[in-house]
Structure 1
């Protein structure tokens, strides 16, 4: 057998192994986070057998809207397997149905300031960001946040449907803060 043929067989076997492991990981709820909103690395989706609650760190599919298509075009989110071909977000639930969200220079929930919630009026590329106007979180929606200052979260897109929650986000092997 020629060395070229052996090389091709090894490459094919290696590719097959990578595809198999990737598919197995996907089916087991493993996801790779490459955004700075939470530590980069390998995460797991843990099934949630109740409604999402304040303090839950969740994987959530963004709704298929013009707002999220613009976010994709600006590079805030990536392509993935959610509706509209977008990637799920990892965010912390900070307000649920009936809670009042006030937006000024920072976010307040029911009159209490939310730590690390300063509102930016431009992104890292200098493009304008319009903050969410604020208001009461409607039924069936969640207000989401990340402590990362440059996070694209509900400060800008407002509450989103809780029906998009895939489950709790649990780090498996992550790097960074």
Structure 2
């Protein structure tokens, strides 16, 4: 019985190391692997395109209390951003000149309510979530980033708008799977 368990352990270790190496090779090759439900799960490629409404972007969260809370609670991971956080992938929903309202009922852009944008008062473990409020026209370097798929995503509902200097790349899906339909109620 020990031999099959050892073979299984070696197999699992080999697969784990291979996936880790593959993720590093892909990142250096200009790809991201998204495993979170904020966007469709899959492979994304870095593209040289402007940051426009509807684009997917990778961004470095700025150093702030709300992101410290997110890190401490495991909503985001540590990483190689200047703030010490890992990069996040989100979709751009508003750009300079758009009127954005973030309140207790959700997020509206130019008077249109965005789907799945109502903020939650607590996370899955009952911890109180920050409640960001905003009602302004976005300035030249401000962007509204959030998930329109996952009502549980940690996004603009909780951290507000992001400055252009935080956006690292525009990314495009290469191969994705919309697992949210099966996983979320």
What's the TM-score, normalizing by structure 2? Answer: 0.76
Q: Name 1:141's counterpart in structure 2.
A: 142
For the Cα contact (< 8 Å) 1:58–1:91, is it kept in 2? yes
Whole-angstrom distance in 2 between the partners of 1:174 and 1:93:
18
1:41 matched to 2:42? The reply is yes
Specify the structure having the higher radius of gyration (Cα): 1
RMSD: 2.4
- Aligned-residue offset at 1:119: 1.7
Of 136-145 and 71-80, more deviation after overlay is shown by 136-145
1:174 matched to 2:173? The reply is no
1:118-129 matches, cutoff 5 A: 118-129=118-129
Whole-angstrom distance in 1 between the partners of 2:27 and 2:130:
35
Query: Which blocks of at least 5 consecutive residues in structure 1 are unaligned?
Result: 1-13
- Aligned-residue offset at 1:23: 4.1
1:30 matched to 2:27? The reply is no
Whole-angstrom distance in 1 between the partners of 2:166 and 2:71:
17
The superposition leaves residues 88-116 of structure 1 with CA deviations (integer Å, 9 ceiling, x where unpaired) of 11111111123222223121112111122
SS in 2 for 1:85: coil
Distance 1:154 1:22, change over 3 A: closer
**Number of residues paired by the alignment?**
162
1:39-78 matches, cutoff 5 A: 39-48=40-49, 50=50, 52-78=51-77
What's the TM-score, normalizing by structure 1? Answer: 0.79
For the Cα contact (< 8 Å) 1:103–1:131, is it kept in 2? no
Query: Which blocks of at least 5 consecutive residues in structure 2 are unaligned?
Result: 1-13, 181-185
For the Cα contact (< 8 Å) 1:62–1:164, is it kept in 2? yes
Distance 1:140 1:79, change over 3 A: same
Distance 1:22 1:91, change over 3 A: closer
Of 58-67 and 23-32, more deviation after overlay is shown by 23-32
- Aligned-residue offset at 1:126: 1.1
- Aligned-residue offset at 1:21: 4.8
